[in-house]
Each structure stands twice: as C-alpha cells, then as structure tokens.
Amino acid sequence: MKGTSGRGPEAATAQPYWNPYLAGIGIGLVLLATFFIMGRGLGATGAFSALLVWVMSLFSTEYVTSNPIHSGYWNDGSPMMVFLVFLTIGSFTGAAISAALAGRSGWSIGRGPNISPLARLALAFVGGLVMAVGSKLAVGCTSGQALTGGSMLNVGSWTFMIAVFIGGYAVAPLFRRQWL
Amino acid sequence: MIAPIASHAGLTDTQGFVAAVVLGLFFGFFLERAGFANARKLAAVFYFYDMAVLKVMFSAIVTAAVGLWALGAVGVLDLSEIYLVPTHVVPQFVGGLILGVGFVVGGYCPGTSVTGMATGRLDAFAYSAGILGGLAVYGEIYPAIESFTQRTDLGEITFPDLLGIPRGILVALVVVGAGLAFVGAAKLEKAFASRRPRDLAPT
C-alpha cells in the first residue's frame, strides 16, 4: 500500500484530479436527480446525527428521546433507517471506488509541510466539533444548505453560503501553518 | 407534473433507500474525482492558490439551478413540492460564520469528511469524531440558545418569492455571477500561485 507514511497521494504516482467544472457538473446532475426522485436535496450532517443518536440509544434511549435535538433523529426507534444514512453509505462507497481506480487509496494525513501529524489530527477534531455546532445552528452544511438550498434559490442558504466564506477567509491567516 | 417521483408515483421505503445509495455512489465518486477527499485541496480555497472548491460548488449549483428551473418551466417537476429549509436569517448567518471557521481549522465539511475516510485519510476520521462530539455538545447547549435559533424567521422562502422576480431571470443572474466568479478565481490562482506548497504537484 502506498502513502502509508506520507502526507497523501499528491506525493505519490496518483492520477490527476478531474477538471473542477466537470466534477461540479457531475455533482449538480446528482443533486438534480435527487430533487427529481426524492423531492429533497443532498445532505451529510443528518447522517452523523442519526449515527450519534443510534450510538447514544445503546446506552440510554431515555436520554435520546428526552433531548430536544436528539429526539428529532430517533425515528420511532430506527434512527439509521433514513435517507441521509443510505446516501452517505453510497457516497462513502463511491469515493472509495473512485480513489481505488485513480490510485489514491491508502492511509495518510492531509496536512501542509509545516505541521506535525498529531497537531493536524487535533485540529481536525476541533474543526469537526466547531463545524457541527455551526451546521446545527444553520440547519444544514455545505451539502444541505449551500448546494441544495443554493440551487433552489433559498434565501437562508445564500445567507449561509456568504457567511461561510466570510468566516473562513477571516480566520485563514491564523491557520496558515497547518496548510501552507 | 410527474415529479418529484416520491410524492407523485410514490416510493416505498426500500425503493427510497436504494435510490439514496445509488445517488450517494455518484455523489461520492464525483467528490473524490474533484479532489475533495483531500483536506489540503479543500483548504486551498482560503489561500487562493487553488480555487477548486469555489469552481466545483458553483458549477454544481448552476447545473442544478438551471435544471430545476427548466424542469419546472416545462411542467415536469413541481418545485413547490421540494422540501426547503426554512430561513432564519441571523442564526443561519452566524451558523455559516462558525462553519467557515470549522472548515479552515478542520479542512473538511461533513460530506467531504466521509469521502476522506473512504480514501484512508486519518484526519478525516479525527474530523468525523469531532462532528459527533460537536453534535452531542449542541444537544446539551440547545436549551440555552433555543430562542436565538428561532430569530428572524422568514419561513420557507426563495428569492423568486421574496423579490417577486421570475425564477428564470434570477437563475440567469446566478449563471452570470458564477461565470464572473470563475474568471476571478482564475486570476486569483495566478496571483497567488507562489503560495502553493512545493510538495504539491502543479495543476
């Protein structure tokens, strides 16, 4: 297996990524098909919420059903039997297939040359934590709000999207060492 | 009108789940092809030397927005039956700011962290663990911020409704805006090319 100790396939003999416009059109067509078939768009955070609720329920169903946020994902006792969980199973598999075909699979840590692997993993964890809170507050993430709501011309989604770029560019100088 | 299929012809749970897996397969495949299983590629948008995030995001939005408008205009797809997240201007703006910070710190968003895990990225696993932690925290702090999350409630509203301008015209504006953004992105990539870390292959 290649890339076991490296920073990722960019240093190995992987195929180049697709033209971004081609990949974007592909994602747009998937989104359109999702609207057409399901009457809703894509999403990702909801699958994490479902997984969390399922795991929590193994310890205490009472905690889940009495919590104002988690109870919304209880789904009458079958939290994992929802659209977004199956979508995410698909996207995990699709990404794994794509990476395998392009020679981009293998254990690695995506980081710039000036940060240690451990520091990068710690920042990744913190970033996930922060992102989850933002995503709950905004009622959606890059998939559920920006892509889905953006293409529907949803007012809140465009408000959200502009804020994401403002927030990101505002703090980017502080995190240069992680990426550059 | 024949679509959304789920509300017209109707779908069983099983059919819906099969559709979800198939749609997900393509979603994940295209995300990985774009390079979005790679946190460095994603974070690069915030340093201007690789604007792929903006290019992919807006070409996807334009594709879907044009498709939705066209399918609606010819009477195939009933846009009024598509689920919309209700708009709460202030909490969604603040949520977006926080999410943007999380993007720079973590390097992924929830969807791309799934593709990262699928390709063996350990930072994507750490990020996903962080998401689960953040969701658990949110469940605890929610009672304290509940009234804030309900502020500036505009309900389910799109720009065609808000402004009273036909969807086709607004979609055309989005197309033009995206085109200008793509031109700007190419200029920024050129201007900031020297920021590209040397261990990254040039594109």
Q: Which two tokens stand for residue B17?
A: 């789940």
Confidence class of residue A13 from pLDDT cuts 50, 70 and 90?
low
Contact B5 A37 (CB under 8 A): yes
Please give the torsion angle defined by the CA atoms of residues A146, A167, A123 and A174, in that order, rounded to the nearest 10 degrees: 150
In the block, which residue shows the tokens 């692997």?
Answer: A117
Amino acid at A148: T
How large is the average pLDDT for residues A123-151?
A: 96
pLDDT at site A7: 53
Indicate if the pLDDT at residue B185 is higher than 60.
yes
Average pLDDT over residues B167-192: 98
Residue B201 lies in a domain: no
Strands B153-155 and B87-88: antiparallel
User: What does the pLDDT read at residue B198?
Assistant: 83
Q: Using the beta-carbon criterion (under 8 Å), do B203 and A33 form an inter-chain contact? A: no
Q: Worst-scoring range by mean pLDDT, A6-15, A141-150, B34-43, B181-190?
A: A6-15
Structural domain includes residue B68: yes
Confidence of residue A134 (pLDDT cuts 50, 70, 90): very high
- Of the pLDDT bands very low, low, confident and very high (cuts 50, 70, 90), residue A9 is low
How large a percentage of chain A has pLDDT more than 90? 91
Mean pLDDT, rounded, of chain B: 96
User: ipTM surpassing 0.90, yes or no?
Assistant: yes
Tokens encoding B54? 């903006």
pLDDT number for residue A2: 38
* Residue B86 CB neighbour total at 10 angstroms: 14
Q: The domain containing residue B65 runs over which residues?
A: 6-195
Contact A91 B87 (CB under 8 A): no
Residues of chain A found within 8 Å of residue B27, distances taken between Cβ atoms: 27, 30, 42, 87, 90-91, 94
Q: What are phi and psi of B88, to 5 degrees?
A: -125, 100
Number of domains in chain B: 1
DSSP type of residue B158: B
Confidence at residue B161, expressed as pLDDT on a 0 to 100 scale: 96
Residue A97 scores a pLDDT above 60: yes
Domain assignment present for B203: no
Please state, for a pLDDT cut of 90, what percent of chain B lies above it: 96
pLDDT above 80: residue A149: yes
Note whether residue B200 is domain-resident.
no
* pLDDT at residue A8 in the model: 54
Provide the pLDDT for residue A6: 47
Q: Is the pLDDT of residue A109 over 90?
A: yes
Partner-chain contact B106 A158, CB within 8 Å: no
Distance in angstroms (rounded) separating the CA atoms of residues B149 and A136: 9
The CA distance from B140 to B54, in Å, is 34
User: Residue A100's closest chain B neighbor by CA?
Assistant: B119
Cα dihedral across residues A15, B202, B101, A167: positive or negative: negative
Query: In this structure, which amino acid lies at residue B182?
Result: F
Contacts of B154 in chain A (CB under 8 A): 155-156
| φ, ψ of residue B108 in degrees (nearest 5) | -135, 170
Q: Is B1 within the bounds of a domain?
A: no
What's the mean pLDDT in A55-71? 97
pLDDT recorded at residue A68 = 96
Mutate to test the interface with A, among B5, B22, B80, B101 (most CBs of A within 10 A): B101
